Amino acid sequence: MSDQTQQPESFDAIANEAHHEERKFFRDVMLRVLAQIVLQLRGLILLPIIAKVLGTEEYGIWTQINVTVTLLVPILTMRLDMAVVRYLSSKSRSEINRDFFALLLLIWAGLLVVCGLGFLFREEASLFLFGSSQYVFFVELFLVFLVTRTSYTFLLNFYRTSGQMKRYTALELMSALLEVALSLYLVNTGGGLGSVLTAFIFVEAMVCTVVLANIIRQTGLPRSVASSKLFFYIGYSLPLVISTFLAWVIDSSDRYFITHLLDDGLKNVAIYNASYSLGQLSVLFLWPLAFVLFPTISRLWEDKKKMEARRYLQNCMRYYLTLAVPSVLGLYLLSSQLLRFFASDEFVTDPLLVLSILLGILWMGITQFYIYVLHLTERTKLMSLMFVGSAILNVILNILLIPQIGIMGAALSTFLAYLVRMGFVVVCSEKIFSIGFDFAFFIKVLIAGLGMYGSLLLLMPHGIVAIMGTAILGAVIYFIILLSLRGISRSEIDLFRSLLRPEHLAQNDCVIHEKKM
């Protein structure tokens, strides 16, 4: 009798613990969704500020600076941020403290060398970045910005490692809002692109100071930074630097080819990047999922809960597809109106160019979930090898197509390179640790998305209010069709509702449900 009464209690405790973990994951994802929306809005607000007020040339310079920062920050951090999340998430506070500061000092040493060389050869850097040696001033600002952005990226990662998502999100939101506010003020008072860069440098330097002080307050200064695992972390991360570079070749190198292969290179970069920025809205919900997912599945993997890690990967990929597919179709439909509103008629391009970018980014999002399998199984070297083929393909296609068909060639190169990379990663990951792909669910999502697209074809919205109304109507139509196709099950709806309830009520519902079973 005693064993019979204890078993349900033990089962209920396990159910409550699992549900609590799901609620924490859901809450952290929602926090990241909020942050991602604000970060995307920052980009959309800055687009008209720089494009309309300062012109296509300065927007092209802005694009080149951001594309290059995107490349150099992961290289300068040596992707040690991934090693920190992968291995320190489950360690003690003292171990995190010692190893984190050891890696931080190593990164700062590398920054000092790179930026010193950058200042020494700033004219050559201007020619490489912008196709002209007359932009030395922007090279100098870029190097200072590189220091603050690299430090900002790695320091904030401490909160991700230690599970302090609220603090991470709050600081990221605060910095984004301050950057936009300062940029608006400086441009409206006569400042140029240099003022916008100065605003970013100032805000991120301030946040770095706050974060570093807070880390020291939480953990104290380490007695020693001589970590015995330093070379282990570097060995794990260095192959990721190669993967990151190859990913950047596919994602962003086309801006360099446009700059150097076309007349009015910076202007064409500006037009292309505006469409690319629009396309990135389709993965608005991917990065919050990915950001919270990786430390979560890393902890589960280290705790030998591999099937639980697989469940998280499967569910997150379903959620991503549910939102990404209609986003791709909707952005394709509204691309001309959105570009005209956020920038100007000068930035409106062929909708097929936007569609190529959107589909490429969709492939990239699917690939991300399978890449995590390679991280978990420590196959980072294999990841680098798989990226080589798609990166080489992208470079060859850019060189061949951009001179012939302009920026459309860059879009087609991106589409094909992402598709090849997805094929490599999915096939190899499935052989190592299968997470599966629900083709039946994907077909339902695609049918619902096409139904939404067909329903909205007759609408030609003008102005932001009409565009937002069309987007809301499209979302309603899409989910009605998806529900009618049973793409979303009753259990998924019940789970989502329970996650939105107060925690004690949700836990009671979970216990009652398990007892009924």
CA atoms of 94 and 204, how far apart (whole Å): 27
User: How many Cα atoms within 13 Å fall on the side-chain side of residue 460?
Assistant: 1
Amino acid 312: pLDDT: 84
Q: Is 6 helix (H, G, I), strand (E, B) or coil?
A: helix
- CB burial string 27-36: b at 16+ within 10 A, e below: ebbbbbbebb
Spell out the long-range contacts of 457-466 with Cβ–Cβ below 8 A and sequence spacing 24 or more. 457/333, 460/337, 461/334, 461/337, 462/337, 463/341, 464/341
Q: Could you give the 3-state DSSP secondary structure of residue 285?
A: coil
CA distances from 304 to 311, 357, 433 (A): 14, 39, 14
Give the predicted TM-score (pTM) of the model. 0.69
What is the Cα–Cα distance from 359 to 416, expressed in whole angstroms? 9
pLDDT, residue 315, reads 84
- Around 52, how many Cα atoms within 13 Å sit in the side-chain half-sphere? 15
pLDDT at 152: 93
The answer to whether residues 377 and 433 touch, using CB atoms and an 8 Å cutoff, is yes
Q: What is the pLDDT of residue 28?
A: 63
Instruction: Return d(Cα 303, Cα 508) in angstroms, integer.
Output: 27
Domain parsing of the chain, residue ranges: 10-437
Report mean pLDDT in 10-residue bins for the chain, 517 residues.
44 49 63 66 64 73 88 88 71 67 88 92 90 89 94 86 78 85 84 88 94 84 66 80 83 88 84 84 75 79 85 86 91 86 76 91 89 83 79 92 92 91 89 86 92 84 79 90 80 52 43 38
